Amino acid sequence: MIHAQQLAEGRWYLEEQGIYMNEVEAYDWELSQAEYHGLSKAEKIEIVQLRGLYYSLLSEDNKALADQGFYVLPMEAFPTPTEPSAELFVPFAV
């Protein structure tokens, strides 16, 4: 869910640090929703470990941003998709 939001907001990064930041944000979101979704202690530990892996790969500057809950990086991201053109739609034959 968070990855779709990142893409919609123009924050789907294709560069290494951006990919790591997107993953840290996604794991932070999962942890914030863990109780709501009834995750077990083991599931939460796994998420913390995976988040830690990506976090450890961030530069010190980007770690400082993530520590503040700020996940937007000053770099080019994958363009936000636009509505598909109706003329590009070709239904499949039944």
Cα–Cα distance between 24 and 71 in angstroms, integer? 8
pLDDT on residue 51: 97
Tens-place pLDDT, residues 19-76: 999 999 999 999 999 999 999 999 999 999 999 999 999 999 999 999 999 999 987 7
pLDDT on residue 39: 96
> What are the φ/ψ torsions at residue 41 (nearest 5 degrees)?
-60, -40
pLDDT at 88 over 70: no
Question: How many other CB atoms are found less than 10 A from the CB of residue 62?
Answer: 19
Q: Domain boundaries in the chain?
A: 14-67
pLDDT on residue 94: 46
Q: Which residue has the higher pLDDT, 10 or 67?
A: 67
- Are the C-beta atoms of 22 and 13 separated by less than 8 Å? yes
Angle, CA of 52, 53 and 56, to the nearest 5°:
80
